[in-house]
Chain A
Amino acid sequence: MRPEFVRALSRNARANILLPVAALMLSLAPPLVVASVLAAEVTPQQEVEGRLMCYCGCSDLTVRVCTCGTADAIRAEIAGRLSDGESPGQVVASFVARHGAQIRSAPLKSGFDLVAWVTPFVALILAGSALVVLVRRWGKARGIPVTASGSPGAEAAGARTPEERRALERVRREMREKR
């Protein structure tokens, strides 16, 4: 059984709105699940190492992957601080206090830094919405409703002029005869 609000929509509207929404959700749902699961899997040591950039100057890598001596020293300090009972946040804050905000490997998810995180997705959603509007307009421009129906269905036939319908019938008849 379809939900009430789905039944309330016309067949065209269902095709035009629900299909893209469903496709988008199908595409984006797994990664959202992934993000939450991944976040839960790392150890506090790995979390802090991933949140800090190595300041050795020889690479653009996080402490988690950099192999230089500086990164070794930072890793040892992180381990010491964590074992002393500091939280990952406190360890990161102490490094930021000494070396500046640049040592963070990614912008914060608050304040001005939040702009960095949301802008790509806002742009994508806006562009996607504009594309949906455009596609609907392009569908209507031809006089054929944008429909999910495969074979030229009732709606499509209804939108054609009598001449077009007659021509289409003729083509179909000829094709049947050829077969």
Chain B
Amino acid sequence: MADFGTLCLFLALAASGWAVIASLNGWRARLGELVLSAERAVYATWALVVLSVLSLEYCIFTDQFGLEYVASYSNRALPKIYKFTALWGGQAGSLLFWELILISYASLIVLTNRRRNRSLLPLVVTTLAFVSTFFLGLVNFMARPFVRLAFSPEDGSGLNPQLQNPFMAIHPPCLYLGYVGLTLPFAFAIAALATGRLDDTWFRTTRRWTILSWFFLGTGILLGGWWAYVELGWGGYWAWDPVENASLIPWLTCTAFLHSVMIEERKKMLRVWNLALVIMSFLLAILGTFITRSGVISSVHSFTKSDIGPVFAGFLGLSTLVSVGLLLYRLPDLKGEHRLDSFVSRESTFLFNNLLLVGAAFAVLWGTLFPILSEAVRGVKITVGPPFFNEVMVPIAFALVTLAGICPVIAWRRASPRKLVEKIQIPFWALLGGVVALLLRGVRDVYALVSFGLAVFVIATTVMEFVWGARSRQKVTGQRFGGALLSLVDRNKRRYGGFTVHLGFILIIIGVTGSSAFRQEATASLKRGESFSVGRYRMLFEDMVSRDSPNAEFMGARLSIFDGERGVGTLVPGQNFYKAGQNPSTEVAIHYTLREDLYTILTGFDPHEGRATLKAYLNPLINWIWIGGGVLILGAWFAMLPDLRDRRRDAEARLLEVESRAA
């Protein structure tokens, strides 16, 4: 099966390479059949990659430890779900998985564009197949998943214990779907630049794909935070680790694009900027992959270090050269009619939002790469850790939140200051009321007061947008309020989906503020029957418990939890000792409520004295981060659904395409 997998990968490389050559030459020589051959080669590549992935999974599931990859990332006792996820647990497998997603996206693009965008498609295929060929080259020659060992060990080393978590079944696929998805708008942008067809076709075609990538990248980041929270045992969810940063940077530039593209749609402005943002997002995704896999920056996430760094750097350099070169070449054709009716307009707020989002992306990138810079300049690798990012990012985040509050109430083109003041009056009083209420409840942390105050302001402006919109519709249609609201939202999915995303973002801000500003912690070394407290919770150490499974042995401390005098349940924080590995893995136990989480960790147990060392965190409002994430995902999903206007526009575009071909 391993040989079959190897053969499939080699044939896939050949097919993908052919797709590049055929589509490029087909486009240059205007040979439709050659272009068609390239499109079929994309499907062939997809089938061959699927077969090689299935071959690798077969080898993992049948414990073929004669293969280096299987011996390194699986073992006999590994549960089936983690045998499946072992596909992306190591370097070679994860690159193969990346390629699977890329070629699946490419096939979908070819499939959905059989009868439209025919002028752009050859170069879209060229770009996608070129990126695919690069990744297939890596898995064929540099990070091969089907390498045989000289001998076949009895058992494998097993998957990294930290990856044996249900979140790891969905977090990496989501991130990859996001990262790889950024290749699609990039491919259309390159095709538009190369063909000179610089109208709005390229971004209209890829708008939904871009939101989808943004959605998956955001979901992946969120799930990664959740995984860190429940698995790593330090009570937090984001450590500004280089690999975390690498996923955040393209997400920020992609967010900027999703805002600025609206200005291009409405006013035909910012064409160069939007193309630059799409190119930047793709290059930053590749840079993130380079950081994750090259080992140039040390990170707890770098599970898969190898020597592919220089190759990735070369690919990044070449992609930058080609895309920036094309952009510069087409610059004279991209001069749009830049007009702005007023400084006080939604266009303006979007421009400043773009400034802040790209500024935030730059700040994170700068902090991530500064250790390399300092080593190059001074010979000393300076650590740039959480204190730096917190201090730099908080002002930018506050400015962004402020804009998220003002933006919905500002009209396109030109807003009247009088109306603007009218519209923000209620939210402003809500802000003041919220801050006063918090002060009366004893909150004195200025950071929290500002953050919560701004959150109230944004929620108020956003909710009022829904209410005003529904009332206007009520007047026109005579519907009841509920019906008017539903039809309003249904007719403007993108707009109200976007506002829902803003609400999700604000809930995340509330969760982050609460859990960082009001966090409490306590540590204790207890004998059975002793207790310790954190906040209003008391934890009574009852006994030690242990469980044995084929994969690991679990040892934990059973704690009875009391909220004041009332018992609220039992928690068993512990440690897993994996039989295939050496290091224990922390298994936290959490008492979840909407108000706060009680987060407990067993850091050690002395069997001689019968003492358990326990740590507890009280994380207020933390669950609002995940709830906010859910709202954000819901909003993004809603914004992706086509509304009446989109369907009409698509139909018109198809009609035009047919008419132009007939002519």
Contacts and interface: CB of A to CB of B under 8 A. Distances in A.
A119 interface: yes
B491 interface: no
B165 interface: no
Contacts, number: 191
Given A60-B300, A131-B355, A141 B382 contact: no
B93 to A, nearest CB: 23
Contact of A53 (B383, B394, B415): B383
A108 to B, nearest CB: 8
A66 interface: yes
Given A117-B392, A141-B338, A106 B387 contact: yes
A151 B416 contact: yes
B236 interface: yes
Given A59-B232, A139-B340, A150 B374 contact: no
B91 interface: no
B388 A34 contact: no
Interface in B337-375: 338-344, 348, 351-352, 355-356, 358-359, 362-363, 366-367, 370, 374
A5 interface: no
A142 B338 CA distance: 8
Interface stretch (B323-331, B396-404, B468-476, B635-643): B396-404
Interface in A103-130: 103-107, 112-113, 116-117, 119-121, 123-124, 127-128
B608 interface: no
Given A135-B340, A146-B343, A147-B342, A27 B399 contact: yes
B234 A61 contact: yes
B241 interface: yes
A15 B269 CA distance: 23
B387 A146 contact: no
A59 B234 contact: yes
B300 A59 contact: yes
Contacts of B240: 60
Contacts of B418: 150
A105 B386 contact: yes
B617 to A, nearest CB: 9
A179 B384 CA distance: 63
Contacts of A112: 374, 377-378
B359 A120 contact: yes
Interface in A133-172: 134-135, 137-139, 141-142, 144, 146-151
Contact of B341 (A58, A67, A144): A144
Interface stretch (B18-26, B27-35, B280-288, B444-452): B444-452
A19 B385 contact: no
A97 interface: no
A32 interface: yes
B380 interface: yes
Given A120-B362, A127-B359, A150 B392 contact: no
Contact of B239 (A30, A61, A137): A61
A8 interface: no
Nearest to B365: A120
A15 B298 CA distance: 49
Given A19-B343, A142-B339, A148-B342, A119 B387 contact: no
Contacts of B383: 53, 101-107
B615 interface: yes
A123 B340 contact: no
A51 interface: yes
A102 B299 contact: no
A20 B342 CA distance: 12
A37 interface: yes
Contacts of B586: 67
Interface residues of A, number: 65
Given A37-B446, A67-B234, A116 B343 contact: no
B339 A138 contact: yes
A28 B382 contact: no
A138 B394 contact: no
Interface residues of B, number: 70
A35 interface: yes
Nearest to A27: B399
B292 to A, nearest CB: 13
B388 A117 contact: yes
B612 interface: no
Contacts of A119: 366
A124 B357 CA distance: 10
Contacts of A66: 234
A119 B359 CA distance: 11
Nearest to B394: A31
Contacts of B380: 100-102
Interface in A24-78: 24, 26-28, 30-35, 37-38, 41, 50-51, 53, 58-62, 65-67, 69, 72
B603 interface: yes
B158 interface: no
A138 B338 contact: yes
Residue among A67, A105, A144 with most chain B CB within 10 A: A67
Nearest to B420: A150
A95 B341 CA distance: 58
A135 B299 contact: no
A142 B341 contact: yes
A50 B387 contact: yes
Nearest to B523: A72
B450 A128 contact: no
Contacts of A26: 402
B391 interface: yes
Q: Closest 10 CB pairs between A and B?
A: A150-B416, A120-B363, A27-B399, A105-B385, A31-B395, A30-B450, A34-B447, A138-B340, A106-B388, A106-B387
16 contacts: A16-B343, A30-B454, A31-B395, A37-B447, A50-B387, A58-B300, A67-B586, A102-B381, A105-B385, A106-B383, A127-B359, A138-B340, A139-B343, A146-B340, A146-B343, A150-B415
Interface of B: 232-236, 239-242, 269, 298-300, 338-344, 348, 351-352, 355-356, 358-359, 362-363, 366-367, 370, 374, 377-378, 380-388, 391-392, 394-396, 398-399, 402-403, 414-420, 445-447, 450, 454, 586, 601, 603-604, 615
Interface of A: 15-16, 19-20, 23-24, 26-28, 30-35, 37-38, 41, 50-51, 53, 58-62, 65-67, 69, 72, 100-107, 112-113, 116-117, 119-121, 123-124, 127-128, 131, 134-135, 137-139, 141-142, 144, 146-151
Given A123-B366, A138-B340, 8 more contacts: A30-B398, A59-B239, A100-B380, A113-B374, A131-B352, A134-B338, A135-B348, A138-B269
